[in-house]
Structure 1
């Protein structure tokens, strides 16, 4: 697989989001199946794996996904770029603990879970407005100088927040929501990141499965732990309203001998040299299909026609790429506009 740079890190142009092996898409697969899926992705050419400290049952089994990923990549750890994320909650700073000490405590847990002595890319998972971002950036800079992380990033932020952090400790990557159905990042995030050598790691690049063409208006998601129940674009009325976009994808998929999901990934790879999508799935077949998008290339004319067709389609259901979490552990995500 071709490689791309996100900051100073070289990664496969398509990475792998590993969350689904621990939570988020209903019943999780058996451990052996998940380990095999991650290893098959590596054998296919994927060298970029994404996890987080909270992927799992947050109350009873935090760290599950990190443990799983660490076990899966143990045989080729030095050959991959490993990304994980931390939250900082306000109550962690009670008793005089500093932000630097809090960040260090999270990092130590992740290092142990992942069975490694360094993290390639360490994200602040969401902004807590009660905690000075500048101090988090300073703490990350200290960890980079120490060599326990190679680079740091932010997730679900706007350009003003990104610029504030980048001015203190250069940011290597922004992990934001980006797909054919969520294109807000094109307005300010991509231009800023292109100018400053920052990678944009696109999560949910297939729009929670919608752009695969396998989700329909009558699709029933699992009752327990399936985040797709809350995705605006997967409400019945929005699925039906966004079908013209699927029709376009099917047209190009037929023309290129590819799948709709692969076309959606090839589109963003063609559009931005600094984007690295990290599609996530708990299904081995889907994982390998997504990675196969690296073999689908759009010509300049195909891209222009596809882009024009997409621009002519209104999009229904919108989440946005700026989110923050505030208050005590367990509070829901709260949107916040810059």
Structure 2
């Protein structure tokens, strides 16, 4: 186990977890060019061995539903492996006739939890998130059921994903939220300006940054939409289309210039910046390849000076990202 692992407390009263975790979604869903279960297991085991033991999945990652959880479950059924992992999963989004839909009904919350426990082959879930808020159901009803699951020992800690300030406050009033999972990177820094980060800090809620590398864009690996596999969702994402792609490369180029000066990769610079936002930040980059996983792990050795942080902040402020985060049917419901 590496000696440079960064640990951070989860929420106000949670355990110490690895600040650099691992997002498992791409092993099963959305990014095309799927790898074998054996290859995926090697990536997951390497992540844990490298100290990225905060592992994130969701019951929707597939299709079919539960595929990604079952992939992890094949490893988690080993008590020795389970003891090393802080496992996080989510409920609330599902594939319906209209594409991705959401449900926060109490009976659905419980059904999903039971299925995730079975898929993951665990006795309890370390961190259980409401993946997306169902705005047809009072959030208090959803969170009263989550509170029951916590009291029953089926989940240890609770989180919410992509919620607004009002929703966070209402849910937190029912039972404490330990983590808000939300997209955050130089490509999507919105929470610093819209009041969400301030509210989470007031309430003692950790930020779990998903897509901290801008869905891979900020690594500098992609120069055109043709670089993505035919079944990669990014081919139809607004930020990767035509003029938006060209304009958004300006952000990548500016970060790469700073990274080159420091002797690190753009991805490492970006992850170091995300983790430097505060001791309440956790990042969960994902990858299908061990070489990229190890590159991400290298970000833990990158220390940014105040001048370097200021330079990145200036870039983020100056270069505006073009295009909505999500597009097409389902909109912001997507993962």
TM-score (norm 1): 0.88
- The 8 Å contact of residues 13 and 294 in structure 1, kept in 2 or not, is answered as no
**Which residue, 108, 112, 115 being the options, matches 2:114?**
108
Q: Find the partner of 1:32 among 35, 38, 56.
A: 38
Q: 1:232-259 CA deviation, whole Å, 9 max, x = no partner?
A: 2211312211222222211222222211
User: What is the aligned counterpart of 2:198 among 185, 191, 199?
Assistant: 191
Alignment pair present for 1:203 and 2:206: no
Q: Does 1:80 align with 2:85?
A: yes
Question: Do the aligned residues in 1 keep the contact of 2:187 with 2:316 (CA within 8 Å)?
Answer: no
Is residue 333 of structure 1 aligned with residue 304 of structure 2?
Answer: no
Mind listing any 5+ residue stretches in structure 2 that lack a counterpart?
97-103
Question: How many equivalent residue pairs?
Answer: 316
- CA deviations 1:111-142 (Å, max 9, x no partner) are 11101000011111111222221111111111
- TM-score, structure 2 length as denominator? 0.89
User: Is the CA contact 1:6–1:197 (under 8 Å) kept in the aligned structure 2?
Assistant: no
Q: Which residue of 2 aligns with 1:62?
A: 65
SS in 1 for 2:215: helix
Report deviation, 1:335. Answer: 4.3
What is the CA-CA distance between 1:218 and the residue it aligns to? 5.0
Pairwise CA RMSD: 2.1
Quote the offset at 1:88 in angstroms: 6.4
Find the residue that maps to 2:276 and give its secondary structure: helix
Maintained 8 Å contact 2:250/2:319: yes
2:186 corresponds to 1:176? no
Q: Which residue of 2 aligns with 1:2?
A: 6
Conservation of the 8 A alpha-carbon contact between 1:36 and 1:72? no
| Equivalent of 2:324 in 301, 318, 327 | 318
The answer to whether structure 1 residue 16 and structure 2 residue 19 are counterparts is no
Q: Structure 2 matches for 1:87-102, cutoff 5 A?
A: 87=92, 99-102=105-108
> What runs of 5+ residues in structure 1 fail to find an aligned partner?
92-97, 324-330
Q: 2:85 & 2:108 partners in 1: Cα distance? A: 27
Cα distance between partner residues in 2 of 1:99 and 1:312: 42
Aligned to 2:222: 215
Structure 1 runs of 4+ aligned residues shifted over 4 Å read: none
> What is the deviation of 1:306?
2.2
